[in-house]
Structure 1
């Protein structure tokens, strides 16, 4: 996704600097070359040795290093990159950038660069909300500096609110959006994710153990390839990805309506774990427990969204992808499901409790199509998402 791209990473002096170690690794996984620059304060939080080891590059920090100046001057260093990324961008760094100061190597590079600049702010909530910081932010945006985050959350100082640096994968997604190839640009894709909750009464419902992590990762991977994604999600644990058209639903009936409203699309990926049944006439009041008297629940079958969209005569997406979460005879059941539903692909996985897949961070899938079954190795759900997104792009482009 970022093969051959050069990123000049300026690491500011804040507690969030520790995230840059993972950020470097994630960028390099996607093919980018990362040249790190550390402010003096940054070295109080992470060591140059750690940064250099992960980047596979020398760490630059001193503008007066004459050897480096002879081999690669600070002007050249600021211009050979495809993107200058500042993470964390502290309040101090943002202020210096806004005012055009050049008091050290980092700020000199930022002032001398003619390539795009992206910042990931990180600071105390009061500092972020201060009028001066907001003025500086407005000035930087006016100078076409891209901004990622910050997020809300607990602070190292004990306070809560906006100011946490965006997570490494969020920043990577924005870098890819800025620099990466966009094979799916102009394509519209609907992705379903998470469980559905089918109410029994106002406080009880039928659900499953789906976290929504895999569907969320797929939507993010498709966005990074340039797709316009309609993300229809049930009440998932995973936070929705950035850059999608978000539609939040609770029940299978609501999910069906949202999917049909999103059509026509070029592709549809049904990663949601939709409940097969719903309670007929769910109680509007809490069902009270009565000794010796168990409640009787009548069930109805929920709509089969995958089959309905796969069998549309008009407006069927060019590619329909379903998921099959199985505990027994995975390949046999998933193959039969693909034929029964009439979808193009089924992504099958074994969700037996021993696998740790449902609700976990990894997945092991088999992609089943008309051509046969393709077994993928067990990998992180983000990696599965990227591989599936790449395969989708091969079909749609």
Structure 2
């Protein structure tokens, strides 16, 4: 999945012949999962129609400060709101004229007013003839704009509208997308990190029909996987039986059923991981003997002999090299003491404690209330939050570990 998935892109189009390519650019943004709002300078409408870009972006296109309503009452296109809405602003094509105005603070159209109000990262794809591209005033504009924190997407070489061939051609739409994705990804805090996350329950078979399990839905682990991928990590999610699906298609999901299958899957990937977050509710016991046929109901009492399952987290702690190992503790009594014992026993770097005694915490709920305890037994209690917010808190601990 593209890192542009779910992002809000403000596309500014200025008046050059390369404006015709913005139809393809908008289409690629939409295909990447972004939401696109187009702003046009008045001159750009000579090269591509607002109707084309509005149809492709599925949003109205703005080019003037004032919008004339059919009832005769004009409305204001608020450049400040447009600027604050965006996660990223892309100006393509950026003509020499627009570049000069942006560099020197000239504000004579809606696009420029929105640019000057922007707080988000701004990417600029210049387009002009080769002599204009190399002119000292244009080079000065590039220098100023980069000093302001803008990013220039280099122009490409090729045939130009003048009939000449050389540098100055706007980067092709697919190259603009690739440039943005690479630039955004390299700045994400978990870029290059490999994270293994376990989620959900395990089912321990009694017979072909029945099993021993628990009420875990897997939501905490799935939220962790989605958020970690958004932060640039390469994520493997090992999940027990659950109906949940990851919203981020870049997450590799490994489906398992039993605790033994989860044990095997964890150790298959463990050595290549930078971080392991064990959020699964793994069964502590499994039937010693699994019936081949469905067990029949009897008149008398019925008993099943249980044996302990392998302790996945302890086995990972014993094999730990440089991995950051994070476990979960769901307790009902002596919460802090039990959690601290797990840290020592399982060689953890951090444990996430949640208590069934806290309202809103536990299985099957959209919220959780946790306490962080690190390997030095330093405690940090958090307020009740959504599991998505808890996932972000946990991943912030991971980021702090690598950026300390």
TM-score w.r.t. the length of structure 2 is 0.58
Cross-structure match for 1:248: 255
The answer as to 2:194 corresponding to 1:194 is no
Q: What is the CA distance between 1:388 and its match in structure 2?
A: 1.1
Q: What is the CA distance between 1:238 and its match in structure 2?
A: 2.6
Matching of residues 1-397 of structure 1 within 5 Å: 7-8=8-9, 71-74=108-111, 82=121, 178=184, 181-242=187-248, 243-264=250-271, 265-290=273-298, 292-312=299-319, 316-352=321-357, 354-371=359-376, 372-397=378-403
Contact 1:177 1:224 survives alignment (8 Å): no
Structure 2 CA distance, aligned partners of 1:187 and 1:257? 22
CA separation of 1:36 and 1:278: change in aligned 2, threshold 3 A: farther
1:342-388 CA distances to partner (integer Å, 9 max, x unpaired)?
21111000124853532111111001113311111111111111121
Gaps of 5+ in 1: 11-22, 28-33, 60-69, 85-113, 116-139, 147-173
CA separation of 1:279 and 1:270: change in aligned 2, threshold 3 A: same
Structure 1 CA distance, aligned partners of 2:394 and 2:366? 16
Tell me which stretches of 4 or more aligned residues in structure 1 moved more than 4 Å: 34-43, 51-59, 74-84, 140-146, 174-180
Q: What is the CA distance between 1:73 and its match in structure 2?
A: 3.4
Contact 1:345 1:368 survives alignment (8 Å): yes
Structure with greater Cα Rg:
2
Cross-structure match for 2:16: none
Structure 2 CA distance, aligned partners of 1:180 and 1:143? 16
1:40-85 CA distances to partner (integer Å, 9 max, x unpaired)?
9869xxxx99x999989699xxxxxxxxxx753358859977589x
Structure 1 CA distance, aligned partners of 2:274 and 2:85? 45
TM-score w.r.t. the length of structure 1 is 0.59
CA separation of 1:317 and 1:255: change in aligned 2, threshold 3 A: farther
1:70-115 CA distances to partner (integer Å, 9 max, x unpaired)?
753358859977589xxxxxxxxxxxxxxxxxxxxxxxxxxxxx98
Contact 1:35 1:58 survives alignment (8 Å): no
Q: What is the CA distance between 1:302 and its match in structure 2?
A: 0.5
Contact 1:309 1:316 survives alignment (8 Å): no
Aligned-residue Cα RMSD (Å) equals 4.2
CA separation of 1:252 and 1:316: change in aligned 2, threshold 3 A: farther
Cross-structure match for 1:31: none
Structure 2 CA distance, aligned partners of 1:285 and 1:141? 61
Cross-structure match for 1:166: none
1:159-184 CA distances to partner (integer Å, 9 max, x unpaired)?
xxxxxxxxxxxxxxx99995683222
